[in-house]
């Protein structure tokens, strides 16, 4: 079993709306479990709930849109996902996902709450899509393995990925951010597992924060994240492009786009994150 | 009292999490109450709930982010907003909003569910923001009053607004869409009420669908909408710009940006909407 599949594996019990899993230390970034993995796990739970519901349209197997709000940082250890099916429509089936962990005082602490919709992204007829940016091939890009060891020590999550940054947007790693608010790279799972529509939601939040390219190296917690999946990705490398145009009041926006190995746009997102400005 | 304030007015009862209001026919667009008004009403309720909560930081008076999922079309008549305060943090206070109406069978029908966060947008220090597009002044733009009467008959909502479209993006109104997926215009409330941070969330969803500029004139229901408010708007005209780069599988994305009369970016959004393609 791939380590990604293992990390998002859930146990179902008698309650059809409740599933249990364990966050592993290997998926941490800084002092929290990677938010992308948390979202992917929540989607996994809603997908399983929809698939098990006898009244549900079984064709709605792909996450199409997800809006997630992060309340507290997820920690390694057991968690519970609670799901609620809100509406099964012709085009989309929509539900709510909540992830809890047990706090130090033994009480449940809410980590993330999200609403999202599943649909059928097979055999899509696509009329318009953004084209991928020009980028050198993966072998001419900067591997995350080349990052300073003290950086990698706080980003075990990056070891789960094979990430190659476009050298033109990797200057921040050697103290020379471009100050344009751009980051681009090639991405795939280190364990060789091919991307699917659920994994794309993690890939949208997998690159280093675009804030780094603005010279802002502090912790940039995701406050809200909304991702749209446009198509089922082809096997192979994903091409990820981040940008940001807005920064103010201690918050910034980060936009992400992903193309698959055939050059089709497969996912896009916008997140609002906190940012600490240098004094 | 302005007709906008009247339309978003809520009655609170004994339950601090429940408020009641009435959707007016005057705010309809097609066969539904305008989704922007529905979202604004939900935010109004969460804002009142937060303000009434003794444990809440009273500085969090401005909506900062909202993600709304539309389940069924809101109809003129009474509705109930149920709110839940999820977390009061230092930077943001986050809660959930649900709007119900009574269906034909007397049972409650969920219209919209949303998660959103309030914060303090006063005295923001802004480092980066997109600049407004070049547009002719309002008096040289195309007023919605010039739209065909049969179009206006199905869009009473437009009569609540003073909307002036940039002539370069209004060709669709005379059967000549630019096919670029762009729409721009000046916007203010017809009753003269000045914009505030809550009203901006409606303004993000107030222009005709950008689909019109792609020659797609069918109903484009909002499936999911996420809006970010960046600043408190100055009094006067709002400048709204819509774009879309993605269309496929019967769905499209619509991105909106709003600048206030001083040229500051005050809000932005992305929505996923359904679209019917010509056969």
Phi, psi dihedral angles at A76 (to 5 degrees)? -60, 140
Q: Could you tell me if B78 and B184 lie in one domain?
A: no
A125 or A210, greater pLDDT: A210
Query: Is B18:B80 a contact under the CB 8 Å cutoff?
Result: yes
Nearest-CA distance B254 → chain A (Å): 12
Q: Return the half-sphere exposure (C-beta side, CA atoms, 13 A cut-off) of residue A132.
A: 21
Calculate what percentage of chain B has a pLDDT beyond 90: 83
What mean pLDDT do residues A178-206 have? 96
Phi, psi dihedral angles at B269 (to 5 degrees)? -155, 160
Q: Could you tell me if A151 and A208 lie in one domain?
A: yes
pLDDT, tens digit, 9 for 90 and up, residues A242-266? 999 999 989 999 999 999 999 999 9
Minimum mean pLDDT among A34-43, A61-70, B44-53, B116-125: which range?
Answer: B116-125
Residues of B in contact with A89 (CB under 8 A): 71
Q: Could you tell me if A153 and A249 lie in one domain?
A: yes
The confidence score (pLDDT) of residue B279 equals 63
What mean pLDDT do residues B189-203 have? 97
Q: Work out the pLDDT band at B66, boundaries 50, 70, 90.
A: very high
Q: Decide if B127 and A65 are in contact by the 8 Å CB cutoff.
A: no
The confidence score (pLDDT) of residue A79 equals 98
Residue of chain B minimizing CA distance to A67: B67
Residues of B in contact with A92 (CB under 8 A): 223
Select from A67, A181, A249 the Cβ nearest to the Cβ of B67.
A67
Q: Could you tell me if A65 and A157 lie in one domain?
A: no
Q: Work out the pLDDT band at B174, boundaries 50, 70, 90.
A: confident
Proportion of chain A in helix, strand, coil states, percent, rounded to 5: 20, 40, 40
Q: Could you tell me if A156 and A190 lie in one domain?
A: yes
Q: Work out the pLDDT band at B237, boundaries 50, 70, 90.
A: very high
Residues of B in contact with A253 (CB under 8 A): 228, 268
145-174 in chain A: CB under 8 A from chain B: none
Select from A87, A117, A252 the Cβ nearest to the Cβ of B224.
A117
A151-A156-A160-A166 Cα dihedral, nearest 10 degrees: -20
The confidence score (pLDDT) of residue A16 equals 93
Q: Give the ipTM of the model, two decimals please.
A: 0.95
Query: Is B96:B114 a contact under the CB 8 Å cutoff?
Result: yes
Select from A113, A246, A274 the Cβ nearest to the Cβ of B91.
A274
Select from B87, B226, B248 the Cβ nearest to the Cβ of A270.
B226
> Whole domain around residue B214: which residue ranges?
138-274
| A127 located within any domain | no
Query: Is B58:B48 a contact under the CB 8 Å cutoff?
Result: no
The confidence score (pLDDT) of residue A279 equals 64
The confidence score (pLDDT) of residue B146 equals 76
| Domain count along chain A | 2
Of the candidates B189, B183, B154, which has an alpha carbon nearest to the alpha carbon of residue B1? B189
Residue A149 pLDDT > 90, yes or no? Answer: no
| B130 located within any domain | no
* pLDDT mean across residues, chain B: 93
**Dist. CA A114–CA B8, nearest whole Å:** 26
Q: Could you tell me if B9 and B111 lie in one domain?
A: yes
The confidence score (pLDDT) of residue B217 equals 86
Task: CATH number of the domain at A58, please.
Answer: 2.40.160.210
Q: Decide if A268 and B247 are in contact by the 8 Å CB cutoff.
A: no
Residue B104 pLDDT > 80, yes or no? Answer: yes
- Neighbour-count burial for A103-137, b at 16+ CB within 10 Å, e otherwise: eeeeeebbbbbbbbbbbbbeeeeeeebeebeebee
Nearest-CA distance A212 → chain B (Å): 15
| B253 located within any domain | yes
Taking residue B215's Cβ as centre, other Cβ atoms within 10 Å add up to: 13
Q: Could you tell me if B77 and B205 lie in one domain?
A: no
| A133 located within any domain | no
Residues of A in contact with B124 (CB under 8 A): 248-249
Calculate what percentage of chain A has a pLDDT beyond 90: 83
**Dist. CA A116–CA A228, nearest whole Å:** 10
Of the candidates A257, A260, A271, which has an alpha carbon nearest to the alpha carbon of residue A130? A257
């Amino acid at each position: 079993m791939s380590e990604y599949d293992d990390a998002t594996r859930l146990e179902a019990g008698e309650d059809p709306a409740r599933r249990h899993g364990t966050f592993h230390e290997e998926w941490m970034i800084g002092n929290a479990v990677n938010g992308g993995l948390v979202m992917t796990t929540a989607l996994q739970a809603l997908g399983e709930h929809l698939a098990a519901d006898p009244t549900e349209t079984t064709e709605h197997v792909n996450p199409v849109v997800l809006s997630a709000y992060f309340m507290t940082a997820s920690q390694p250890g057991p968690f519970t996902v609670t799901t609620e099916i809100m509406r099964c429509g012709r085009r989309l089936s929509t539900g709510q996902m909540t992830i809890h962990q047990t706090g130090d005082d033994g009480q449940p602490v809410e980590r993330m709450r999200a609403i999202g919709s599943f649909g059928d992204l097979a055999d899509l007829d696509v009329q318009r899509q953004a084209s991928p940016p020009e980028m050198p091939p993966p072998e001419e890009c900067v591997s995350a393995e080349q990052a300073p060891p003290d950086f990698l020590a706080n980003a075990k999550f990056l070891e789960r990925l094979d990430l190659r940054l476009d050298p033109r947007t990797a200057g921040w790693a050697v103290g020379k951010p471009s100050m344009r608010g751009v980051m681009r790279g090639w991405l795939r799972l280190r364990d060789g597992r091919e991307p699917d529509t659920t994994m794309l939601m993690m890939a949208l939040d997998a690159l280093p924060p675009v804030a780094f390219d603005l010279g802002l190296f502090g912790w940039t917690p995701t406050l809200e994240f909304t991702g749209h999946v446009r198509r089922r990705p082809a096997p192979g490398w994903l091409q990820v492009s981040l940008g940001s145009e807005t920064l103010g009041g201690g918050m910034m926006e980060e936009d992400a786009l992903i193309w698959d190995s055939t050059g089709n746009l497969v996912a896009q997102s916008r997140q609002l994150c906190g940012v600490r400005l240098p004094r």
